Amino acid sequence: MNKLIYYPTGCYGTFLQWLCNTPAELQEQNLPFHTDGNSHGYVLSDQYKLLVTPQCYRDFVSTQYDTVVSCIWPLDHNVKMFNEKGLSNFYYNLTHGHLQYFQNYSVQVCVIYPTVTSKIWWWHNNCKKVVWSPGMYDKKINSFAPGSEEAQIMISSRAWLTAEDPIERAKIQMSYYESRAWYQRLMNKFQCDQTQNLSLGQLRTVMTQSIRYEFFDYVSHWALLPAQFPKIRFISLDQLRDNTTESIQHMFDHLAVGSTAPVHNVLSKWSKLQTTMHRDQEHKEIIQAIQQEQDKDWGDLNFDIFDEVYLLHELVYKNRLHLNVHHLDKLPTNTHDLLLLR
């Protein structure tokens, strides 16, 4: 029976695959972590296996694998998060179809997913950590036949996948929305001809509206799936954060992984690198203070543009607080100064 970790990027699928396939003889120098907290050092391993296209899925279910394999959504629907026809149940149908396919072939599946109370943590990961070095990219693309669907998708995705600057990556990803009416309205308002020329404040506004108009059921649909697939193990990012060791053990048990790696030591090192693990709670406290016009300063949290995007989205579209901020490269980090922008 093949074993699969299914996840949207930014949910630590590479780390969990590495953990499942790691022998007891674990050496410090063999840890897969990069300084940003991702585990993409494992991508260079010959053991690493990632399914990214329908052909990958077909090859996987027709071949016996001794190790745990990972699967993400097709790249066109994952990091780009592009729902071309604007369907309200787009992501539910996409995920449901994948899981049903693997279940039909008796694949043992464990799903890792974000929730409404871990979406900002996931957002940080997806915006800043889903990046491959040129060596990783070359290794992956060389595993596909020249001219194949898999190779073409990887080539078309290279721009964002290998861009190390998260701002550059964000601009590339936002350019995928250039045919959308909301995007065109903003670009006309900013008198800007292309995404690369946006200021930081303008980029923040574009990203904020992309969440409003493009996410649809991106996060919410995951909660609907466990009832549909009782044989699949679902582990949320919240569980991975709040009950890390227990969640890892549940994954091991479900996938019948007999790992004897020193999990506590590894998880301790991994946790220290996840600097935005508690961002959702921190954002919640900030928004409550703004709603109640209480004095609060969050300068010590070192918010970046990706924090500001989600903070602005929640304030403007969830709390109906109009803020004139597109001319600012950096938002205030206290309630008093932020509310002056109303």
Number of domains observed in the structure of the chain: 2
- Domain membership of residue 201 (yes or no) is no
- Domain membership of residue 295 (yes or no) is yes
Q: Which of 245, 273, 301 is the last residue of a domain?
A: 273
What is the mean predicted confidence (pLDDT) over 16-43?
Answer: 78
Rounded-to-integer distance, Cα 262 and Cα 223, Å: 32
Q: Which of 226, 253, 273 is the last residue of a domain?
A: 273
- Domain membership of residue 174 (yes or no) is no
Q: Which of 254, 273, 292 is the last residue of a domain?
A: 273
Residues 222 and 155 in one domain: yes
- The pLDDT value recorded for residue 126 is 87
What is the mean predicted confidence (pLDDT) over 267-291?
Answer: 94
Residues 283 and 159 in one domain: no
Long-range contacts of 164-173 (CB under 8 A, 24+ apart): 164/131, 166/127, 166/128, 166/306, 167/200, 167/203, 167/305, 169/127, 169/131, 170/127, 170/203, 170/207, 170/305, 170/306, 171/195, 171/196, 171/198, 171/203, 173/79, 173/80, 173/81
Residues 226 and 283 in one domain: no
- Domain membership of residue 259 (yes or no) is yes
Residues 244 and 323 in one domain: no
Residues 246 and 319 in one domain: no
Residues 269 and 127 in one domain: yes
Q: Is the pLDDT of residue 47 over 90?
A: no
- Domain membership of residue 173 (yes or no) is no
- Domain membership of residue 197 (yes or no) is no
What residues are paired with 236 via a beta bridge? 113
What is the mean predicted confidence (pLDDT) over 287-302?
Answer: 96
Residues 106 and 238 in one domain: yes
State what percent of residues in the chain have pLDDT above 70: 90
Residues 236 and 283 in one domain: no
- Domain membership of residue 198 (yes or no) is no
Residues 88 and 224 in one domain: yes
Residues 289 and 320 in one domain: yes
- The pLDDT value recorded for residue 258 is 77
When pLDDT is cut at 50, 70 and 90, the band that residue 27 belongs to is low
- The pLDDT value recorded for residue 76 is 60
What residues are paired with 70 via a beta bridge? 5, 50
Residues 87 and 122 in one domain: yes
Name the residue among 245, 256, 182, 171 with its Cα closest to residue 214. Answer: 182
Tell me the pLDDT tens digit for each residue of 69-105: 999 876 665 555 567 788 889 899 999 999 999 999 9
Residues 158 and 286 in one domain: no
| 329: containing domain | 279-339
Rounded-to-integer distance, Cα 49 and Cα 17, Å: 9
Q: What is the pTM of this model?
A: 0.91
In the block, tokens 């998880």 appear at 267
- Domain membership of residue 15 (yes or no) is yes
Tell me the pLDDT tens digit for each residue of 111-167: 999 999 999 999 999 888 887 777 777 777 777 777 776 677 766 677 777 788 889
- The pLDDT value recorded for residue 160 is 73
